Amino acid sequence: MTQSIPYWHVDAFSAKPFGGNQAAVMVLDEWLPDDVLVSIGAENLFAETAFVVRDSMGKADWELRWCTPTYEIALCGHATLAAAKAIWATRRSSASALRFQTKSGELVVSASSDGWLHMDFPAEPASALAQGAGLDPQRTATELAAALSLPEAGVLFLGQNRMDLLVHVTNDAFEQLQKNDAAVAAFAVRGVIVTAEASSRVPQDAGPVDFVSRFFGPRFGISEDPVTGSAHCALAPYWAAKLGKDRLVAWQASDRGGLLRLENRPADGRVTISGQATVVMEGRLGD
């Protein structure tokens, strides 16, 4: 590589270092070849690397793409949060809101004075699996329960949206969960979201939360994602309907963990996903 690319390591959905979800953010002068972007994602070894280029077409402020260690993906929440944090932290913009042009359309991130960042994302509700929908409901439930070491009786809801499987389980089943990466990767989806109302994994300083979740994406090189913003495009409308309220607080119960504030917006089919972010280090890739 002959050029030197600025690089930031950001912990998204965390107010302090070493929590939340790690993302690399790289600001490019112009787009590199697709295979190079994926190779950089593999070199970084984070769940996602965000690449941003100033939008020369006038459609938005920046163009934004995301790569896992093995693939480019169509939507990523935590790396969008990280990209906005890096742009503001390095004074590349003084605007109170940033518009990103992406493969999932325009995404807007705004900042408030309390340090929280707010992402305007499309809702991705999950519909209950039905015969003829591509996955057999009974077989899928049985195979998922086995892949996650869950009793089938512990699965309360099984649904699918454009990207993921959504599995609502009992609180006890959530505590017992033990995944098998190869078995989870056999499902032809981006990932599997497992959610419950409560978990002992929520730290006391997180405060009260409405629900918890975990996200597994071994098919795309992510054994477990620490905090998955885009998964809450499905979780927000699901739990809003279950709990009868559109403002929610969520905890993603990975080892690193992360706190999210959510607003389900059924009137316009969008979800506001809010979190904090911390720049941990900066450097350069290449000569």
Q: Which residues are catalytic?
A: 48
CA distance 224 to 63: 27
- Cβ(12)–Cβ(78) below 8 Å: yes
- For residues 239 and 67, what is the distance between their CA atoms, to the nearest angstrom? 29
Looking at the chain, list the stretches that DSSP marks H as alpha helix, in order from N- to C-terminal side: 34-44, 78-89, 137-147, 171-176, 181-185, 232-243
96 CB-contact burial (10 Å; exposed 0-12 / middle 13-18 / buried 19+): exposed
238/216 Cα distance (integer angstroms): 18
How many angstroms separate the CA atoms of 162 and 220, rounded?
Answer: 15
Distance CA 269, CA 264 (A): 8
- Side-chain-side CA neighbours of 193 within 13 Å: the count stands at 33
Residue 133's φ and ψ, nearest 5 degrees, are -90, 10
